[in-house]
Structure 1
């Protein structure tokens, strides 16, 4: 690493900065693709809706934020055309939140952008290093919480 590297070189800083770089590029490119109304926090909500939708209660648990915050996010995303609230198939009073065609289009675009970024990064560090990095991070994530399943990993807000 260069002596002029202006950031802390501890692992937490490096992971955070690399995530930030990827996220910034993703959202710049999503904007160019016509999805400029999506914010970074929405990505985690979309993950909770795939593949078949979810209830607001499930999303609250998935995101670790208040019911009101989830409701506001859903209102915004519904207004923008990414999600729709549908009757719950087995609970007459409940609602399921599902991705619309625009929502699925966003997901596909996001996946393609991530794939392109990962491929470019793999060219920078080598594809074997990239595969090892992905495997190692996956291993850490799968095992970091092993003893404490009461506290699932969630997005960092």
Structure 2
């Protein structure tokens, strides 16, 4: 039993565990659907590339990793057919990394799986609780002391 003076950080751990549970479920289902070669960190790469592609430097900054590590990640994803390097539209020396049709298919499957996970949570907790939790989590994020609370370093595991 915890006394009143003991620190209580269970909620922080529960946030982490809930996130990891969802990611593990996502990847188990992606494997079933033929995407067993993607890793959790690749989802953050796909997020950055989805808008309009990115350079290796932009991707490294987004991921909080070195340019060399970003290049290795891009090499892996390119070898597995998720991304391709194209000439940069404004920098003749640069390359733009963009998603392939296979990469977009993985994104659509991920969206489908996350929708199913959230639907199951909604069935478990109810619509009102889900909406309150969504709003409360936004408030927690916005209260961050970080300069840009929506900018975060993705976990690379």
TM-score using structure 1 length: 0.88
User: Per the alignment, do residues 136 and 46 of structure 1 end up closer, same or farther by CA in structure 2, a change over 3 Å counting?
Assistant: same
Instruction: Report if aligned partners of 1:145, 1:153 keep a CA contact under 8 Å in 2.
Output: no
Query: After TM superposition, which residue ranges in structure 1, 4 or more long, deviate above 6 angstroms?
Result: none
Q: Which residue number in structure 2 is paired with residue 153 of structure 1?
A: 152
What pairs with 1:132-147 in structure 2 (closer than 5 Å)?
132-145=132-145
What runs of 5+ residues in structure 1 fail to find an aligned partner?
A: 1-7
Aligned equivalents of 1:123, 1:9: Cα separation in 2: 27
Residue of structure 1 in register with 2:129 after alignment: 129
- SS in structure 1 at match of 2:93: coil
Checking the alignment, whether the CA contact within 8 Å between 2:41 and 2:155 is kept in structure 1 is no
CA distance in 1, matches of 2:19, 2:128: 20
Q: Secondary structure at the match of 1:98?
A: strand
CA shift at 1:132, angstroms? 1.2
By how many angstroms is 1:51 displaced?
A: 1.6
Per the alignment, residue 28 of structure 2 pairs with 28
Aligned residues, how many?
147
TM-score normalised per structure 2: 0.88
Paired with 2:155 and 2:82, the residues of 1 have a C-alpha distance of 23
**2: CA distance, partners of 1:64 / 1:82:** 21
How far 1:145 sits from its partner (Å)? Answer: 3.9
Q: Which has the higher contact order (CA 8 A, sep 6+)?
A: 2
Superposition CA RMSD, Å:
1.5
Q: Confirm or deny that 1:119 pairs with 2:119.
A: yes
